[in-house]
Amino acid sequence: WPVRVDSPANTGARRRPRTDCCYPAEPMRRSSCPSVVRANGGKPPPPPSRSSVASSTAVVVRESMCELAYDKDELTDSMKGKLKQAFKLPSQDPAKIQSWNPDLRRKSLGVAKRPSSWTPGAFTAPMALPLVGPAMPAEEEYTFEELVLWRPPEPETGESAAAAAASPPAPADGAEGSDAAVPAPDAPAAPAAPETPATAVSVDGFLCRWLREHQREGVQFLFDCCMGLRDFDGMGCILADDMGLGKTLQSIAILWTLMTQGMDGRPAVTHTIVACPVSLVTNWESELNTKWIKEARLRAKGIQVIAVAEAKKEDVLKMVRRFTTSPSAVLIISY
């Protein structure tokens, strides 16, 4: 509601004068509402000073907004009469008012009618859906040079195998005589444990296609050191390439190869820990799940990727326990 200043002659001076709001009310055009631009001259009048307001006999009254938005010539007789009327609810037609009927609760849409030619048949059990693993990503066609990290030794020829079978076994340390090395003829032979045939270990094509020459040498170096194929007193290795030479790709290549292949036909590694700064935990997770290996391949091999970033102690313990109890997993955690 806008305010309008009237003289005591028009209002009867029933209200106490106020000195904080005393702008004179003048008719405004619709184009100038709700701005403060007045209809006379286009410029707002200067605000009166407090001394002039205090000395005047002005009072503050409330006025309808329509008288400020429209000119007096634009107001019709019906509009002028309704401006001062009190608000009333619109009249309603009793015929259109729908009363609540409790009997309507018993009604329903009914049962659909069956066709005359329908006959009940025997019940058929629904077909069980086959258990299908996660869909592998569509492989695009590409060419790459195979990188074989290890080959099984070649089988012995016929002459060398016959000579090895004819030669008697060497006596054990501390045994006297040849009888100590030869088992008794009636002793039952121990059952031989089934051995998994050795297969060659090579880097998969979807990773090998991106390896450059120095990265291929780095992956071979990592495999030889991790599998104990190098003649040095120690275990493991340090990949000390300069920045930008692809240490992450080499590490992911050896990680995936050792967790899916081995020299005895089984995975050489089941659990891997990636320790990195906390700001790189999500980066390593995306490198495995999105960029290089893809999440579908990891699920197909049963490998879980567990990333531990900024979390509470209880959540960290749950993730570590999940890593230790899972058959195969990669734990990405900050140090």
Helices marked H in 116-201 — which ranges?
Answer: 158-166
Dist. CA 318–CA 77, nearest whole Å = 79
Q: Which residue has the tokens 């749950």?
A: 318
CA distance 87 to 66: 15
User: What pLDDT, on the 0 to 100 scale, is given for residue 206?
Assistant: 94
Q: Identify the pLDDT of residue 270.
A: 96
Q: Using CA of residue 18, residue 22, residue 28, residue 30, what is the dihedral sign?
A: negative
Tracing tokens 């000390």 back to the chain, one arrives at 240
Residue type, 302: G
**Residue 224 to residue 237: CA distance in whole angstroms:** 9
The pairing of strands 148-150 and 59-62 is unpaired
- CA 29/CA 118 separation, integer angstroms: 75
Per the rule left: phi > 0, alpha: psi between -120 and 50, beta: everything else, 206 is: alpha
Rounded Cα–Cα distance for residues 254 and 289 (Å): 16
Q: Which residues are within 8 A (CB) of 267 and not within 5 positions of it... i.e. 6 or more apart?
A: 258, 259, 260, 261, 328
Mean pLDDT by 10-residue block, N- to C-terminus, for the chain (335 residues)? Answer: 50 47 48 44 59 59 60 75 70 65 62 68 63 60 90 76 58 50 55 69 95 96 93 88 94 97 94 95 95 94 93 92 95 93
Q: What is the pTM of this model?
A: 0.52
Element (H, E) at 318: helix 313-325
Q: Which pLDDT value is given to residue 78?
A: 76
Residue bearing tokens 């990949």: 239
